[in-house]
């Protein structure tokens, strides 16, 4: 298995999806084709190293869906322009509304916006 860290925001200088090109290059390369992860199509998008508890929620959900789709639902697709795809409400691994409420209360309590 290969998890590409920074896969969410891995872009080249022109803003193109460098991760996709990397994966395609591995699949097209005779050397890359020798890797078990390439042979078994176990190449996954990973999150950013700059994570805190909130980003970690989304990235844990993302990887869980890619690794265990039978348990958590299928990963819904491509990441475009660094944005994660929408996850159907019934398949979300955490409550977005509750998270927003917690952040709003914390912001109000500290007087920050």
- Give per-residue pLDDT as tens, 66-93: 899 999 999 887 776 667 788 999 999 9
The CA R_g of the chain, rounded to the nearest whole Å, is 17
Q: Rounded to whole angstroms, what are the CA distances from 5 to 59, 89, 105, 109, 113? A: 11, 26, 32, 35, 30
Residue 77, classified by CB atoms within 10 Å of its CB into exposed (0-12), middle (13-18) or buried (19+), is exposed
Partners of 4 in the β-ladder: 45
Smallest Cα–Cα separation from 94: which of 44, 58, 67?
58
Span of 26-35, 44-53, 59-68, 96-105 with lowest mean pLDDT: 44-53
pLDDT for the residue numbered 15: 62
pLDDT for the residue numbered 35: 92
Q: Is 0.75 topped by the overall pTM? A: no
Partners of 2 in the β-ladder: 43
Residue 3, classified by CB atoms within 10 Å of its CB into exposed (0-12), middle (13-18) or buried (19+), is middle
Alpha helices in the chain (DSSP H): 18-28, 36-39, 53-67, 69-72, 96-110
pLDDT for the residue numbered 100: 93
pLDDT for the residue numbered 10: 67
Is residue 14 predicted with pLDDT exceeding 70?
A: no
Section 32-44 average pLDDT: 91
Is residue 50 predicted with pLDDT exceeding 80?
A: no
């Amino acid at each position: 298995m290969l998890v590409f860290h920074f896969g969410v925001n891995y872009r080249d200088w022109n803003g193109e999806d460098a991760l996709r090109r990397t994966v395609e290059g591995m699949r097209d390369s005779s050397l890359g084709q020798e890797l078990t992860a390439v042979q078994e199509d176990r190449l996954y998008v990973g999150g950013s190293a700059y994570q805190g508890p909130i980003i970690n929620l989304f990235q844990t959900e993302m990887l869980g869906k890619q690794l265990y789709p039978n348990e958590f639902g299928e990963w819904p697709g491509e990441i475009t322009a660094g944005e994660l795809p929408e996850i159907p409400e019934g398949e979300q691994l955490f409550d977005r509304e509750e998270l927003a409420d917690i952040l709003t209360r914390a912001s109000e309590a500290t007087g920050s916006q």
